[in-house]
């Protein structure tokens, strides 16, 4: 025997089947979207939070005052860690590391195998600070020996068949064009978790890097230092007090540090909150977390509005139930509980359906987001799912519950349904809100796709088509000039050069001065023929050439640098001791999020990230020849390459995912809204069945009946469009502000969204209206 409230729910389901299924589809779709987004957000928020010392683990950053404002740098001088260890008793552990990625991939060799792997240099405390469990070795000692190396379990297995077999074995490694070095395996760490912001394959002692670069002799407190400093505070230490003490440390070390201030941020915060403007954190990946949270909330609101509208619309068929129950002594509170119970049960049932939908689409959603997401029935997920269902049920059922329970029994038993203006306006307002959100989604889809199309057609100042990028190793790296010369001779190769760390991406920035003016300038280390390989345009002077021996102390500069320093005739001028021999037209070496910044190109023939321009339509044959040449230089090595065009597209991965997600979610929002409108149209036609029958009996045409039923809902959609368009402009203008180079607004963005929403509404309502208009009036009047 079902409890009485559930029995009533079952009876109402049998009585209003169409409404039940519309609500179920709408709520389950909305909850499925919310669950998918919850899984993605949970994964994003889990990054770097698995460390045992999380909560006491911090990264040191620096705010540097420049002419353009306050610039925040993650890099610190390597002298800092030792000073903190000596002078700050609040610190338990501190370590300096190189960031990842900092170098091109290293080449490792052992037992006849040659592998490419990502390296990281770190101080001895690294494995004590961070929770990368060691399968072999002791955290406090594995990095003490300058000749040690600590491998990942996967790398140790590839080289020595198992982590245990690797201990004490020799590994030869090579960084770029440097000579081969040998280290002994002192430890093996477990696989770096997927939700780590840094992914690396092996760790070398930072002390060996300092010796290699002779940093003990050259490093000073005035240096910028691209290295990262991490620390763990002792239990009970006050972070705010430590922050105040740390802020002025540089001023005690250098007279040139008046505009420089150190501060710490929680290590785990760096992944989501990584963007600073004028010394203040302003965003980062957290912006997409907030955006998707907003999308999930809006879709749930749209689904809840469906429930509210359909529940109140069918009130005319439940008024006698309310009157009879009140006449028999039921209180308003009891009725409210009943209706809220109905909505919560519906939401819980929708949750069950939503879980099935999530399981169905999760593989595709994981591929879209680039994350291996899974439904794991752990307490946080269960609690989140129940909270979503209960919250949605209570939100959706609150207005209908208070609305229905407020009817007076004497009036409703006579068949009179109170029609207060406030109730009508509320119901209409909910429809307007629903379609306002749907139109907003449509505008977002149009604008995001327009911006991505703009990114593709924007002149970049270089030719990225048919350009191959790879890092050399072994003999090819040691004999870089000879290898590049052979590459240029291959059929199908137009030109070849090399650049440090790849052509795209941020550059190391330092302040430079010219005639009393100071400017933050980025540096790109390049080889001969880089200008020709990439199709850069010289606006003055010449490129680097082997016949000019003095080019080892020469530089090329871009137009942004010339303008920033106010140079009228830059060729031949000296900038911090280097002579300018040419000026290149500005080109986008960073994404279009960033303005083109001052940049200089400095000659370094030893760098080993090779760029090869291929002839169109001959890529495969040329690649085969290139692989043969690389194998001839390096037997046993693999040529790992990417195309520059793919590197360029990778800068906009987040935007592309947002575009696809916005497209899907906009479609779902419109589908849910259309379902709700379909249900309202059906109830409108049902409530006006007698009126329609009389009109048809008096000669009204079917088209006039259709217009009668659609006009009242059409103007609501028109109002929604009028509200949504300015709101969507404000929201998307804010999103576009994140791009230094952006698409211009076009009138058709809004026209397409408005007309699209209107057509969807017309099609949805007209189908139901046409069915009502074609009904035999005799049957309608007989039913009455």
* DSSP class per residue in 649-707: HHTTHHHHHHHHHHHHHHHHHHHHHHHHHHHHHHHHHHHTHHHHHHHHHTT--HHHHHH
Q: State whether 522 and 591 are in the same domain.
A: yes
Instruction: Indicate whether 641 belongs to any domain.
Output: no
pLDDT at residue 688 above 80? no
Q: What average pLDDT is seen over the chain? A: 82
Q: Which two tokens stand for residue 415?
A: 């068949």
Q: State whether 241 and 143 are in the same domain.
A: yes
Q: State whether 427 and 509 are in the same domain.
A: no
Instruction: Indicate whether 695 belongs to any domain.
Output: yes
Q: State whether 672 and 579 are in the same domain.
A: no
Q: State whether 433 and 485 are in the same domain.
A: no
The per-residue pLDDT for 139 is 93
Q: Give the end of a domain, one of 203, 236, 267.
A: 267
pLDDT at residue 712 above 80? no
Q: State whether 628 and 660 are in the same domain.
A: no
Q: State whether 111 and 137 are in the same domain.
A: yes
The per-residue pLDDT for 388 is 77
Q: State whether 667 and 619 are in the same domain.
A: no
pLDDT at residue 180 above 60? yes
Instruction: Indicate whether 462 belongs to any domain.
Output: no
The per-residue pLDDT for 1 is 43
Is residue 169 packed enough to be buried (19+ CB in 10 Å), middle (13-18) or exposed (0-12)?
middle
Taking residues 387-404, report their average pLDDT.
74
Higher pLDDT, 675 or 432: 432
Residue 382: CB partners within 8 Å, gap ≥ 6?
Answer: none
Q: State whether 85 and 115 are in the same domain.
A: yes
Q: Which of 47-61, 193-207, 506-520 has the lowest mean pLDDT?
A: 506-520
Host domain of residue 554: 474-636
Q: State whether 632 and 536 are in the same domain.
A: yes
Contact 342, 9 (CB under 8 A): yes
Instruction: Indicate whether 34 belongs to any domain.
Output: yes
The per-residue pLDDT for 784 is 47
Dihedral of CA atoms 290, 291, 295, 300 in degrees, nearest 10, equals 10
Most confident of 138-142, 416-420, 758-762: 138-142
The per-residue pLDDT for 682 is 64
Instruction: Indicate whether 648 belongs to any domain.
Output: no
pLDDT digits (tens, 9 = 90+) for 322-379: 666 666 666 777 777 777 787 788 888 888 898 899 999 999 888 888 888 888 877 7
pTM listed for this prediction: 0.81
Q: State whether 185 and 319 are in the same domain.
A: no
Contact 583, 573 (CB under 8 A): no
Instruction: Indicate whether 439 belongs to any domain.
Output: yes
pLDDT digits (tens, 9 = 90+) for 742-783: 888 888 888 888 888 888 877 777 766 666 656 666 555 555
Higher pLDDT, 764 or 731: 731
pLDDT digits (tens, 9 = 90+) for 143-176: 999 999 999 999 999 999 899 999 999 999 887 6
Higher pLDDT, 627 or 683: 627
Structural domain total, the chain: 3
Q: Give the end of a domain, one of 576, 605, 636.
A: 636
pLDDT at residue 283 above 80? no
Instruction: Indicate whether 122 belongs to any domain.
Output: yes
The per-residue pLDDT for 696 is 65
Q: State whether 331 and 413 are in the same domain.
A: yes
């Amino acid at each position: 025997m079902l409890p009485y409230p559930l029995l009533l729910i079952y009876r109402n389901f049998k009585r209003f089947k169409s409404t039940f299924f519309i609500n179920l589809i709408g709520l389950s779709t909305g909850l499925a979207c919310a669950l998918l987004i919850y899984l993605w957000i949970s994964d994003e928020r889990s990054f770097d939070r698995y460390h045992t010392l999380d909560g006491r683990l911090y990264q040191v950053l620096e705010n540097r005052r420049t002419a353009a404002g306050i610039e925040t740098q993650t890099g610190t001088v390597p002298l800092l860690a030792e000073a903190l260890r000596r002078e700050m008793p609040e610190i338990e552990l501190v370590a300096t590391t190189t960031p990842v990625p900092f170098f091109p991939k290293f080449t490792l060799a052992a037992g006849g195998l040659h592998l490419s792997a990502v390296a990281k240099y770190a101080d001895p405390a690294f494995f004590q600070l961070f929770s990368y469990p060691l399968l072999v070795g002791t955290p406090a000692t594995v990095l003490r020996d300058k000749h040690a190396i600590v491998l990942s379990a996967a790398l140790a297995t590839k080289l020595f068949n198992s982590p245990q077999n690797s201990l004490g074995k020799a590994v030869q490694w090579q960084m770029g064009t440097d000579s081969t070095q040998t280290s002994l395996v002192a430890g093996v760490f477990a696989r770096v978790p997927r939700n780590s912001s840094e992914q690396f394959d092996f760790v070398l002692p930072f002390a060996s890097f300092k010796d290699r670069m002779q940093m003990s002799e050259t490093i000073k407190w005035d240096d910028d230092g691209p290295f990262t400093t991490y620390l763990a505070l002792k239990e009970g230490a006050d972070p705010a007090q430590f922050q105040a003490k740390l802020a002025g440390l540089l001023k005690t070390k250098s007279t040139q540090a008046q505009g420089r201030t150190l501060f710490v941020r929680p290590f785990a915060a760096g992944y989501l909150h990584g963007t600073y403007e004028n010394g203040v954190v302003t965003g980062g990946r957290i912006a997409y977390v907030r955006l998707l949270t907003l999308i999930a909330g809006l879709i749930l609101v749209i689904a809840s509005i469906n429930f509210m509208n359909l529940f109140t619309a069918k009130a005319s068929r439940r008024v006698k139930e309310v009157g009879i129950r009140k006449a028999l002594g039921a209180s308003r509170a009891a009725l409210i509980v009943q209706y809220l119970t109905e909505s919560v049960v519906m939401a819980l049932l929708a949750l069950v359906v939503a879980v099935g939908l999530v399981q169905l689409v999760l593989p595709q959603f994981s591929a879209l987001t680039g994350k291996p997401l899974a439904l794991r029935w752990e307490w946080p997920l269960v609690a989140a799912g129940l909270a979503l269902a209960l919250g949605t049920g209570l939100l959706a059922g609150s207005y209908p519950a208070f609305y229905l329970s407020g009817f007076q029994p004497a009036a409703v038993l006579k068949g009179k349904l109170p029609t207060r203006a406030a109730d009508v306006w509320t119901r209409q307002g909910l429809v307007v809100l629903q379609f306002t959100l749907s139109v907003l989604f449509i505008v977002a889809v149009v604008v995001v796709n327009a911006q991505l199309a703009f990114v593709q057609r924007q002149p970049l100042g270089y030719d990225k088509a048919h350009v191959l990028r790879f890092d050399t190793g072994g003999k090819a790296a040691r004999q870089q000039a000879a290898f590049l010369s052979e590459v240029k001779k291959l059929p199908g190769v137009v030109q070849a050069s090399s650049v440090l760390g790849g052509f795209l991406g941020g550059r190391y920035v330092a302040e430079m001065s010219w005639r009393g003016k100071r400017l933050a300038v980025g540096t790109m280390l390049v080889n001969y023929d880089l200008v020709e390989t990439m199709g850069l345009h010289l606006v003055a002077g010449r490129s680097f050439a082997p016949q000019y021996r003095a080019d080892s102390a020469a530089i090329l500069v871009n137009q942004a640098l010339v303008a920033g320093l106010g140079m009228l005739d830059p060729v031949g001028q000296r900038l911090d001791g280097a002579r300018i021999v040419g000026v290149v037209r500005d080109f986008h070496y960073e994404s279009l999020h960033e303005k083109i910044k001052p940049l200089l190109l400095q000659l370094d023939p030893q760098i080993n990230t090779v760029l090869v321009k291929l002839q169109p339509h001959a890529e495969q044959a040329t690649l085969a020849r290139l692989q043969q040449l690389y194998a001839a230089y390096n037997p046993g090595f693999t040529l790992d390459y990417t195309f520059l065009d793919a590197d360029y597209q990778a800068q906009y991965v987040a935007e592309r995912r947002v575009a696809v997600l916005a497209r899907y979610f906009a479609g779902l929002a419109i589908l849910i809204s259309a379902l709700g409108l379909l249900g309202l149209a059906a109830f409108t036609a049902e409530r006006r069945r007698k009126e329609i029958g009389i009109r048809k009996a008096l000669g009204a045409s079917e088209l006039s009946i259709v217009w009668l039923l659609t006009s009242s809902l059409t103007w609501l959609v028109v109002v929604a469009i009028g509200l949504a368009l300015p709101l969507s402009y404000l929201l998307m203008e804010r999103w576009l502000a994140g791009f230094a180079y952006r698409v211009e607004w076009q009138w058709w963005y809004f026209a397409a969204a408005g007309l699209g929403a209107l057509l969807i509404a017309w099609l949805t309502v007209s189908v139901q209206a046409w069915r009502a208009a074609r009904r035999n009036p005799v049957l309608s009047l007989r039913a009455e």
